[in-house]
Amino acid sequence: MGGPAAPAPDGRRPRWSKDAEKYLLPHEQPPVIATRRHWAVLVVPVAKSLPALVVGSWLLMLDPDNGVTASVGLLVLVGALGYLALRVGEWWMRHFIVTNRRVLLTSGIIVRTVALLPLRRITDLTYKETLLGQLLGYGTFRFESAGQQQALSEITYLPRADVLYRDVSDLLFGGNGAGGGDDEGEAEPSPQQPRRSADRPRPDAAGDGRRDTQPIPPLPPRRARSPRVAGRRVRQSGR
């Protein structure tokens, strides 16, 4: 499962198909890429647990009749095996999934976590391959997106990273994905569709789209009352 999503050769459902059914939208299936990280990610956990396994086995076989050393050796051995089993389980359950809309990273054994990044928000993709990665066949993807820091900014130990890089680049910068809708997968309105009433220019707007800002002319001055009219009112009030 080191490249584009495909069914298992023996006919069994791959592990990523369960995540695809649970977290992908109907128009996102089947995913373009579905893979787990390279097995080289387990080299460091194995190297850390190997000394503990050796010491625990030595204490367990040093003096089987001595309950103290046997118990200590058994505890060390169980702890090292538990740590190694936890790392292997995390590697087995973590999947890198790319659809025509989103990039997802599912992880967790008991508590499942899904980190996603819409393809439309990715502004740059960096592909790094170390010397050991070139020998074993893995690489690192670094996504740069508009806005704040994303949880999927860097994904390490991707198998067949050169093939994955071409597939993801085709989705980002080719004609097979990210430009045909919004982040939720809804189709964007075509340019020929009429604009909404909120976007239409108001009738009192100028032809160039700017409102008329000429000053309002002042009101004419009020005419003064004639003395004759005022005198009549005075005489009438005196009657």
Residue 80 pLDDT greater than 60, yes or no: yes
pTM (two decimals): 0.65
Distance CA 61, CA 146 (A): 59
Distance CA 48, CA 81 (A): 11
Q: Which H or E element spans position 49?
A: helix 43-62
Q: Which residue has the tokens 């030595």?
A: 58
Was domain 1-7+14-37+96-177 assigned CATH 3.40.50?
no
Sign of CA dihedral 37, 169, 32, 178: positive
Per-residue pLDDT averaged across 78-105, rounded? Answer: 93
3-state DSSP assignment of residue 147? coil
> What number of other Cβ atoms are within 10 A of residue 24's Cβ?
19
Do residues 93 and 107 touch, judged by C-beta distance below 8 A? yes
Per-residue pLDDT averaged across 153-165, rounded? Answer: 91
Better-predicted residue by pLDDT, 226 or 60: 60
Residue 231 pLDDT greater than 80, yes or no: no
Distance CA 8, CA 43 (A): 25
Distance CA 23, CA 17 (A): 10
Mean pLDDT score of the chain: 77
Residue 130 pLDDT greater than 70, yes or no: yes
Residue 118 pLDDT greater than 50, yes or no: yes
Structure tokens at 211: 């409102």
Q: How confident is the model at residue 81 (pLDDT cuts 50, 70, 90)?
A: very high
Q: Which residue has the tokens 């396994």?
A: 53
Q: How confident is the model at residue 230 (pLDDT cuts 50, 70, 90)?
A: very low
Q: Exposed (0-12), middle (13-18) or buried (19+): which is 65, by Cβ within 10 Å? A: exposed
